[in-house]
Structure 1
Amino acid sequence: MHNDKQAQHAAGWTEEQANPANAAGITSDAHDAKRAARRRRFAVFFGVAALAGMAWLTYWGLSARFFEETDDAYVAGNIVQIAAQIPGTVTDILVENTRQVRAGQPLVKLDDAEAAAAFAQAKAQLTLAVRQVANATISRKLYVQSIDARRAELALAQRALAARDHASVEVVSPEELARAREAVAVAQANLASAQVQLDAARALGGKFPVEASPPVLQAAAQLRLAYRNLQRTTVVSPVDGTVGQRSVQIGQQVGPGLALMSIIPLERLWVEANFKEGQIRSMRVGQPVRIVSDVYGSQVVYQGHVEGFSAGTGSAFSMLPSQNAAGNWIKVVQRVPIVISLDPAELAAHPLRLGLSMQVSVDTHVRSGHLIGNDTPAAAQSTRVHDNVSRDADALIAQIIRDNSDRGGAAD
């Protein structure tokens, strides 16, 4: 047999050419093995894919479908514009950008020469008005006493005339009777004059206390306004925050409405997340939110809550709203701004700045909160830094009235 193979090889034949049936069997077995291996690989691949798909469907059905995510979210907050309340020239700038300020802290000072002069004039006018009303009160008492004296004189003159009116010529001469009648007329005129003077004093002072008389009230209002204008030459911060966008310069002429700088309260920030209109279907007020900032990365996670929904989409409030009445209309998915509150403790531990990018994930498992349009109103914001100005002005007015009036004789 070995010799046969050598002979075949010598003749240039291969083993497959020498035994065609055997070669065909070997080739078929090889192809079958490859197909079986391929089928096993496909089965493993599709099995793993099916398991992965089932795992994903299970995860989506139990958890993922309850979360709405977006990276179109940014930190927002209040930007308090600082402006002068009266016109004037800037003489001092007391803060710079990035500085922390407290409510009531002076920021800018204006030239107060004119305001100080107006305040001094208003103060003198109030002093004069109080003294005039006080003098009118004293004069009113004098006029009352004068009327009593004039009435007594009239009664005496009338008695003297009555005694002489029916006497004979031998007892009372005509000249004496004429003088008696003239004395009665003079007494009546004096009484009428005293009554007019009393009415004039009452019209000026009235029967009210000095502080309630019209001249004093008018002068007090002018003094109160002058005092406020004098205090307004010092521009103060209405809130606690950080200075930004300072544009005021020394010597600049400023007036009401001209922004000098901004104060940003960094302890009261929130996130505005822009979700697609289809994503807000299951969102409710109060749902928990997981927030990650690009500044700190995934190592810092903020826990927030849905605070409310915007009344319209971003395009509805843009400067140039889209006009969809044209013939070439293309539908564009709109985004609705969602306000998300932040935990003050977390914000204090990891401060943020306006405009920072955030990644937001809203957990919509709990859907018992308010729907769109039933949002709870936000708490009102206010400042009390100017309340002391009114109290100080009222205290100054009261002191001037006390120092220049006799309160014991304010009314008769």
Structure 2
Amino acid sequence: MATPKEPPHQTQKLSFFEIFRIFLLLGCTSFGGPVAHLGYFREEFITRRKWLSDEDYADLIAFCQFLPGPASSQVGMAIGLTKGGYRGMFAAWLGFTLPSALLMFLFAFGVLSFGELGYSGWIAGLKAATVAIVAHALGGMVSSLASSAKTATIAVAAMALVFLVSGAWGQILAIVAGGVAGLLWLRREGPAIKPETLGHSAHMGVSLVNLIIFAVLLAVLPLAALYSADIALLDSFYRSGSLVFGGGHVVLPLLQAEMVESGLVGTDDFLAGYGLAQAVPGPLFTFASYLGVLAAPDKSAVTGSIIATVGIFLPSFFLVLGGLPLWNRFRALAVAQNAMMGINAAVVGLVAAVLYTPVFTATITGVMPFLIAVVSYLLLRYWKLPPWALIMLAGIVGHFLL
């Protein structure tokens, strides 16, 4: 098997522990969400360590934005792959994910130990801030992904579809319909994307094997889930990690359908965990580490958290390994670009739907939570308060006022 090519200016392979150490430090300090993570990565791997050129890094970001799943984590995986092969890829993911996964696990363990948290004042304040965070994310997505008449129409249609078809299947149907609408109705404007050579490659056979494994698991796990509660839990998170285009806040509607609508996790606990996920460093997808504890069929906290965390990130491993060799060809196809425009617009509708229910309807139960949400949005949107600081502040205010 051919190993990924290195940029000409940096060919040294690194050990598992060296890559793990570097990404562990990033996982402990990378606050601010996926966009901020990419900034941290650039400073570390281009400016400081000179592992990549700016051109290679931009191509990696474009590739990972095109995949479903957590884009910043996927960029980290790809960087680890170039520096240490498969072991380097795993080391990069483990180091970047471990700190926030442990924090989310400990919070969920506290929920199990001390019972429902929905009536705590600080949790009510935290959930009110979550309304502002999701609303702010939605505003940014509208301006970049649904700013034209056609894309806005696709977004509204997707939102309506989610309301009409409840559960995870409504989310999936909206994504598929968005892709079809993009193919039939949208046309990318501006100069065509030219295929460029990434500094990373592998045999086409390796690529196809990984993509086949990805697709087989997506198809087989729902059937296997009928015979095992643990596999059913794995299936829920694997499917969410496979269908989330855009990463970050987009995972919220799919996990809400899988966890809350199925009755595995209560609405209050779900929103409290999602709010806390904004305050910890590292990938937002470690929200799964929290949910896995609460949804574990046998109430084994460690087992449930590991299954959920592995499940939501596993598709990214197959997609990064399988997709890199195909990216140069695929990204230049107009049909692919049109489909992605439609999918991205549909994703905006998904987030809008979940902002209304359960985020708003389950959280804004009176005047004071509404005021906390409005002020939180003001601080986030205009005063540029970091989300982790906002969550802490809202929790303190909720403790005294709610």
Q: Say whether the fold is shared (TM-score over 0.5).
A: no
Larger radius of gyration: 1
Where relative contact order (Cα < 8 A, 6+ residues apart) is larger, the structure is 2
Determine which structure has the larger helix proportion and give its number: 2
Between Structure 1 and Structure 2, the one with more strand by share is 1
TM-score (norm 2): 0.19
